Amino acid sequence: MGQRRKTGDGTRLPVVSRRTVVGATIVPLMGPARGAAPVRAASIPARCASWLALDQEIDRLGRRASALETALVAQYPYFKLTKGQISALPEGREMDAISAECDRLYEVRDKALVVLSKLKPHTVQDATAMLSIGFRLNYCQDGEAWPFVREAHAFLTKAHCPDCGAAYAPVEPLPV
């Protein structure tokens, strides 16, 4: 960083050290500066939508890997090939890349799910988004949907419509 640019009037800009540049890039990761407005976290519906999009991307990749495997079965004695022979084929290389990407996405998805399961809904939209995660877990995976359903139910039994004041999910005794 020895060179400095000249400004329009002939003076030179001050030298900026590498330590200053590196330090400035880390500040946003540490959080807001004192007195600055805190950075808002993404809303629950946005987080849930991102998780669902990630889950759908994993499904899409799985369908692509399945199509490649079906093509390999039709063209080659697939079940007699070794893993190295399969990887040497163009379809095999793509399948390996898909497998590596899915492994990475599974890890991201599972970490995000742990964070999402600890959130508490504050609006009907939050509760609905959490129910959509619970539905996806219950319908498509062996995941634990109960934390999402429990939190959404807890919110909906206490929440009221802002317009008419009626309870969203009134607690009523079961008919006998």
Give me 84's structure tokens: 């190295």
CA distance 72 to 26: 47
CA distance 73 to 78: 5
**Position 56 pLDDT exceeds 90:** yes
- Kindly tell me the burial class for residue 103, based on how many C-beta atoms sit within 10 Å of its own C-beta (0-12, 13-18, 19 or more): exposed
Task: Please state the rounded mean pLDDT for residues 48-68.
Answer: 94
Using 50, 70 and 90 to split pLDDT, how confident is the model at 165? confident
CA distance 14 to 19: 14
**Position 166 pLDDT exceeds 90:** no
DSSP string, 129-176: HHHHHHHHHHHHSS---HHHHHHHHHHHHH-B-TTT--BSS---PPP-
Predicted TM-score (pTM) of this structure: 0.68
What is the distance, to the nearest Å, from the Cα of residue 169 to the centroid of all Cα atoms in its chain? 30
pLDDT of 21-40, one tens digit each?
Answer: 444 444 444 444 455 555 45
Q: How many CB atoms lie within 10 A of CB 109?
A: 19
CA distance 165 to 150: 23
- Tally the residues of the chain: 176
- Do 43 and 121 contact (CB within 8 A), yes or no? no
Nearest CA to 92 out of 102, 82, 107 is that of: 82
What's the confidence (pLDDT) of residue 175? 83
What's the confidence (pLDDT) of residue 32? 47
Task: Please state the rounded mean pLDDT for residues 102-131.
Answer: 93
Give me 69's structure tokens: 């495997």
Mean per-residue pLDDT over the chain, rounded: 80
What is the distance, to the nearest Å, from the Cα of residue 106 to the centroid of all Cα atoms in its chain? 10
